[in-house]
Structure 1
């Protein structure tokens, strides 16, 4: 009987201690989990808040924003989980503000604002422009050199420079006298002389 009583007391003590421990664990958990990802070409962020305190008349709150725009404001109890989706062509910055009723001033770290970046999910394909430059090819054909069998003598012709006689710079002035007048006078004198000679011969013949 004594052993049974002792065992019952020990079991009751262990149960009391275990209940105290398990009751204290949820009070200090407050686990926020943020999971960024891609759903096809969409950027996603999953907000999972778990193990928060629950009490009648008390609520926890969460506000989710992206790039400065509010997406969701909600109250929750022990747990909150939701996935937010945004276009995946650019990077996004999500802000999650959690307020736990059992930490109104944030001294315990349960009331806090978190920031998470989600990279772009769309791969931008950059087109590459290829520029082809065509260069005209120039083909030069060189004729083979022909070697003459015999070399012809080279004849050198020297041309004498023509001598140009320059005219008198001061030619005789034209007096206007004609050469016909002296010629007529000469002919008259010659004819007169001939006539005189004939007359003289005739006289000499008559005298004989």
Structure 2
């Protein structure tokens, strides 16, 4: 009797594990990875016109999904209410949509700084942002993910990259996947821009 009970328990446990695995797999809606050596990035570097964060992005069931890409801005530890830039698109005519996705800054060290977002076959017009020109500022640009593909789930918000400015004598390394580290960075640095991505079933208000 004990033997039969043990076998039954093993079968149930195995079924739960397999069921959990299938469930997690079906939740995957997109993949993304850093593309720091792309022609887009090289063009920005060759022309010395600014900073570009470029990614490889693949969206599954694109005809039933909505992509939200936006940049949050923090000044002196406080979040600006409206996104610095925002791009929303969805309901593609094709089932699988893939290509370049990212965030660009033109003339980031001047008062006339332009920003734009782009995705596969879509983009925003470059818009100027209010930015106080400061001297002797330390600048850091960081990707939050690596070259290996990261799987995204429906409704999940992920930090893709950060741009930081600080007037201190140094700028610390930050783990952008750790919430405490991100909050500490926001409080310490003069200005922080966070590039974020979220895939939903419908268009949502990010404000």
Give the strand-richer structure, 1 or 2. Answer: 2
Higher Cα Rg, which structure = 1
Shared topology, TM-score over 0.5?
Answer: no
**TM (normalized to structure 1)?**
0.28
